[in-house]
Amino acid sequence: MSRRYFGTDGIRGRVGEVPITADFMLRLGRAAGAVLAAGERRAVVIGKDTRISGYMFESALEAGLAAAGANVALLGPMPTPAVAYLTRTLYACAGIVISASHNPFYDNGIKFFSAEGEKLPDAVEDAIEAELGQPFRTVDSSHMGKAKRIEDAAGRYIEFCKGTVPFGTLFNGLRLVVDCANGSTYKVGPAVLRELGAKVHVIGNKPDGMNINDGFGSTNPEALRAAVLAEGADAGVAFDGDGDRLIMIDHQGRTVNGDDMLYVLAQARKAAGDLPGGVVGTVMSNLGLELALQALEIPFLRTAVGDRFIHQALVEKGWVLGGEASGHMLCLDRTSTGDGIVSALQVLEVMARSGRSLAELCEGMQKMPQVMINVPVAATARARLEDCEPVRKAREAVEARMGTRGRVILRSSGTEPLIRVTLEGEDGEQVQQLAEELAAVVRRELG
């Protein structure tokens, strides 16, 4: 069916503009409750990040769910992966996250998890969309849902995170800087690392409802880099606003992205005999990662961009390790979804066990120069990308100039009104120049 609301990662947009309005969230709560709470399980878990609009949407969703007869378990500010975990352990029928991830505070969105703590199947999202088209109906008062707050939600999740590294693992002696992006990890992230023995200096941990991702977090690692160098830390850890992505900084101030971390984890697991199959990346994964894994005789598979595609491929292949350069990592033998804290623990555990620095662990992979330029466009322009003749010709010209020594990836963002122009090749200066030329054509034709 044709979708009006659900995108590649739930429903997202600017607060106050349809569908990110209080009245829509009321209707969405009722529709989701009617679809998801139709069986024996009637509880729906709701968590949120630190955006000021989260208060409004939490109340609206709660009212809509109760009107459909669903009970509501409120978690308050909590990382997206924590909601997935608590949905499973509280035996809820579904989980809802109010967040726009790495976007600015004036955006917000909704993500759903199934009872298993995984992204909803397309068929279920389609059913919710169909129910949104029905009149608002309230169940009989005797069947209305109730709401309660889960007071120990943070403690439950902290214990889960610690359990994803081998028992007895300690980070004693590791000096870390942790950047919480003024988002949902601002309490639990530092707590997990401190309880495992690390000495932690925290930045980006003073959310005010409007400063989420603003100058901090995985999309803005400059503050973390400065803090790591100033503190003389062994490494820096940066989460995004909802806590499902991770970017690290090594002790020399260099950025360690998802491709680097996949290499570190794959290499360590291969050596320990703990890597079933291979690794899944995306079309955006650096060619250097593919070549490094090839040298280790580790199979590598690319999917379309998006953690749901990586998850699908991992399940189909029976593999457990995958991720994106953006820092959205999947360790399916540790948890069911991308989790920034859990991913950080896996990398730090390799550091602690090997006695090697993060910089040393990354040495075996040489990344190709890669440039990505985000071109703002109207939402309707994203759909015209494939049919735009001037852009197609410009792309072909760039590919001809790069020959077999590079790649061009041109795609619409699934979460923001952007077209992402990405080039990768051996010659960094050429890659930068050609990326700017192609982006200029995209901007002129579609911007």
Check 2, 59, 99, 101 and give the catalytic one.
101
CA dihedral (245, 51, 306, 351) in degrees, to 10, reads 0
Residue type, 295: A
For this structure, is 101 an active site residue? yes
Please report the sign of the dihedral spanned by the C-alpha atoms of residue 62, residue 66, residue 69, residue 70: positive
Cα separation, 265 vs 318, in Å, equals: 17
Q: Which residues contact 233 (CB under 8 A, 6 or more apart)?
A: 175, 176, 177, 201, 227, 251
144 alpha-carbon distance from chain centroid: 34
CB atoms within 10 A of CB 393: 11
> Edge-to-edge strands of the sheet including 246-250?
199-203, 175-179, 235-239, 246-250, 255-256
DSSP 204-249: S----SS-TTSS-STT-THHHHHHHHHHT-SEEEEE-TTS--EEEE
Strands 94-98 and 71-77, by their bridges, are unpaired
Where are the strands (E) in 142-197, listed by range? Answer: 147-149, 175-179
Token pair for 79: 């990382």
How are strands ordered across the β-sheet holding 11-14?
11-14, 107-114, 94-98, 43-48, 71-77, 147-149
Amino acid of residue 425 = G
Closest to 265 in 3D by CA, of 164, 171, 185, 179: 164
Could you tell me the CA-to-CA distances from 164 to 155, 332, 430 in Å, in that order? 15, 11, 43
Cα–Cα distance between 114 and 130 in angstroms, integer?
18
For residue 107, count other CB atoms closer than 10 A to its CB.
23
CB 218 within 8 A of CB 240: yes
d(CA 117, CA 82): 9
Catalytic residue ranges = 101
